Chain A
C-alpha cells in the first residue's frame, strides 16, 4: 500500500469531516468495548491468563532461535516446507515461486495482515495471478481497491449502503432488481459468489495466529470459516507468518487462545480455531497436497533485544484500537500504514522507520486505555514514548515544538528565574482574560484556541500568593 503516514494530520482532518466514516466508527465504540468487558468479567481467571500469555511470549522471544529450529524440524517431519524470508520482497518471491510451480491462475486468501504488510495482492496480480480475498470484510475492501482500516474488522469504516453499491457495481451477473437492503442478503450474495472461487483456486493462502513448535502446526482463528475453505480446497496451502507467531506448545497456545477472542470480539472462543499440520495424509479424502510456511522477518529481529521487543508479543486482537479515543475519532485509514491504532503506532516506525512513521507515536493522548486492555500486557504508551525519544534524539521533532520545549525547560530548570518570569506573565494573562475570564486567541497557542477558550489564570501564582499569606500570618 501507499504509506501516507507523513500526511497523518491531513488524513485525520479529512476523516473527521467524513460523515459516512464517522457514522461507521460509532460501531467500534459501541460494539467491541462492551463485549470484551462482558467476556473478561465472566472469566475469573482472565487477568491471571493475561499474565501467563505475556510470560509465554516473553519466554518464546528469549529463545526464538531455538524454537524456530524446533518448529522447522516438526514441519518438515510432517511433510511440509519451511521458507525463511528476510524481507517483504523475499516473501513475495517465495510465494510467487510456489504459485508458478503449481501453474496457479487464482489463489484464494484467508484474512491475513501479514500479506497486507508484504503487499502480496498487487504483486500477484502484476504477475498474472488473481488473488481472491474470501473474508467478507477483506472481499469488500478488495472490491473497492482499499486496504483494511482495522486489523480484525477490515471494512469497519463502511456502512451497509456502501457495500450494497459495491456489490451492484461488481456482481453484474446477478439480477439488478434483487433486494440487498438487509445485512443477510449482502452476506448471502458474497457467500454465493465466493463459494465457486474456493473450488477454482490452485493455491490457498492464509496467515497464522500461532505457530506451534511442539507439533509444527499453524493455527488460524476465524469466525466465517473462509480460512478453512481456503486452506482445505486449494491444492496447495501456503501459510504466511511472521517469526513472533511462535509458541512452544499446544498447552501454551491454549493459554493465549483464552485471552485472544475475548479481547477481540468478546467471544469465549472464536467459531473456528484450526490446527494445520503438514499436507493431507495419504488416505485423507480431502485437504491440500502441499503445505508451505513462509516465515517473515521484515524488521522483527531488529526489534529483539531493544525497548520494542515487547511489541513482538502482540497477537493482533485489535483491542487497543477498539479502545483508542484517537482511533475512534479518525478510523484506521488516517494512520496511513498497514497497522493502525496504538499497536500500529508502535509497529509502523519499526517496519517503515521513524522518519516515515513519526506522527503515529505522537498522535496519542497517553490515556493508557490500550495498555489496560492489551491481553499481552504490552506497554504501548511506554513504547510510543520511546519512539518520541528516538525522534527527539535524531532531531526529527518539529522545530517549533522543540524550541518551545527547550525554552520552557530553560526556565523550569531555574526555579528563581522561573518565579520571576511567571510572576510577571501570569497576572498579565489574567488581565487579558478580562471579565469573561477567558482568552479566545493567544500567540503561539493557536493549537489550543482553535477549538477552545484558554481559561484565564486567576492572577498571582499559587507560590506567590502562598508566600504572601505566610508572611501575613507571620509564618507558622
Chain B
C-alpha cells in the first residue's frame, strides 16, 4: 500500500464512505464543472467609471499611486514622469507584452528599456496587468513568455499598466477572464493578485513598506 492509498483509505474510513459512491462522485464532478460563483460584494458592481473610481480608492488605500492616461501611447511619457518625479534613473525593466510593445517606448529616447526577466538590479519595472478588481483595489498579473514574474517583485518601483476596460468588479470576474484566456481549469504558471506595495508589520506590528517586494506601486490606467 502506498502512502497515497493509505491516506485516501483513512479519509474514507473516517467519513464512513467508499470511493466508489456514484452520488458523491457526481457531486464533486458537477461542482468542479459548474464552478459556480458565490456571493459577490455589491461594492465593486458598478458602471464602468464608478467601478474604476472604487478600484482606485482601494488601491490608494493600500498605498498604490494612480495615474490615468487616454491611450497606451501615453504610457511611456507617464513612466518618464513617474521616474523623474521620484528622482529615479531613466531606466526600466519590461517584458515583451504586446500592450507594452504598442506603447512604443521609443517615443521617450532618454528612457532605457531593458527587456526580459529581472535580475534584481532594476530600480523600476513595468508590467501589464490583465485585469483589476474594484472591490479590493487589486491588480491581476499573469506570467507568460512576455510577462516575467520577477518584474513584479524585484524592482523597488513597480509600474503597472491596466486597461480601463479590464477593471472588473470582483475576484470572480478576474477568474472568469483567466478561464476565458487559458481554458476551463487551466492556469498560467503564476497568477499574482497584487494589492498595494510590499509591506511588513513583523516588528512591533508597525507597518513598513517595501519588505522584499516593491516599495512603491504605481498604477497607470489606460483609457
Contacts and interface: CB of A to CB of B under 8 A. Distances in A.
Interface stretch (A129-137, A168-176, A375-383, A397-405): A129-137
Given A187-B208, A277-B189, A286-B150, A224 B7 contact: no
Nearest to A295: B7
Nearest to A30: B205
A267 interface: yes
Interface in B135-157: 135-138, 143-145, 148-150, 152-154
Interface in B1-33: 2-4, 6-8, 10-12, 14-17, 19, 24-25, 27-28, 31-32
A226 B154 CA distance: 10
Interface in B198-221: 198-206, 208, 210-214
A116 interface: no
Interface string A135-162: 1110010000000000001111011100
Interface in A34-92: 43-45, 48-49, 52, 56, 59, 62-70, 72, 74, 78, 83-86, 90
A163 to B, nearest CB: 6
B211 A183 contact: no
Contact of A304 (B6, B11, B116, B189): B11
Interface in B118-134: 118, 120, 133
Nearest to B178: A250
Q: Please classify how large the interface on chain A is, using the bins under 10, 10 to 19, 20 to 34, 35 or more.
A: 35 or more
Contacts of A252: 38
Nearest to B2: A84
B19 A65 contact: yes
A297 interface: yes
A153 B205 contact: yes
B211 A191 contact: yes
Interface centre among B58, B117, B186, B200 (most CB of A within 10 A): B200
Contact of B41 (A45, A186, A217, A303): A45
B158 to A, nearest CB: 10
A4 interface: no
B203 A136 contact: yes
A115 interface: no
Given A199-B120, A229-B154, A194 B212 contact: yes
A70 B2 CA distance: 18
A301 B28 contact: no
Contact of A228 (B38, B117, B153): B153
Contacts of B19: 65-66
B211 A84 contact: no
Interface string A256-275: 01100000010111111111
Q: Please classify how large the interface on chain B is, using the bins under 10, 10 to 19, 20 to 34, 35 or more.
A: 35 or more
Nearest to A196: B120
B171 interface: yes
A194 B41 CA distance: 38
B200 A254 contact: no
Contact of A45 (B17, B42, B116, B198): B42
A137 B187 CA distance: 31
A163 B203 CA distance: 8
B152 A228 contact: yes
Contact of A62 (B15, B195, B210): B15
B120 A232 contact: no
A251 B36 contact: yes
B73 interface: no
A278 B189 CA distance: 6
B189 A272 contact: no
B78 interface: no
Interface centre among A48, A186, A229 (most CB of B within 10 A): A229
Contact of B3 (A32, A90, A137, A273): A90
A301 B16 contact: no
B35 A214 contact: yes
B213 A272 contact: yes
Contacts of B14: 301-306
Contacts of A297: 7, 10
B163 to A, nearest CB: 21
Contact of B28 (A66, A274, A306): A66
Contacts of B152: 228
A254 B153 contact: no
Nearest to A255: B38
Interface centre among B11, B150, B175, B179 (most CB of A within 10 A): B11
B10 A301 contact: yes
Contact of B8 (A69, A85, A186, A280): A69
A279 interface: yes
Closest 10 CB pairs of A and B: A225-B213, A137-B202, A224-B211, A304-B14, A283-B145, A301-B10, A273-B193, A305-B14, A254-B171, A277-B187
22 contacts: A64-B11, A66-B25, A68-B7, A153-B205, A155-B203, A156-B205, A187-B211, A198-B120, A216-B187, A217-B187, A251-B172, A252-B38, A254-B37, A268-B58, A268-B136, A269-B137, A272-B195, A277-B190, A283-B145, A285-B117, A286-B143, A287-B143
Given A43-B43, A66-B24, A70-B32, 19 more contacts: A52-B39, A56-B38, A68-B8, A84-B2, A84-B3, A160-B203, A215-B187, A224-B200, A229-B212, A232-B190, A249-B31, A254-B170, A269-B193, A272-B192, A276-B190, A277-B188, A281-B144, A285-B150, A301-B11
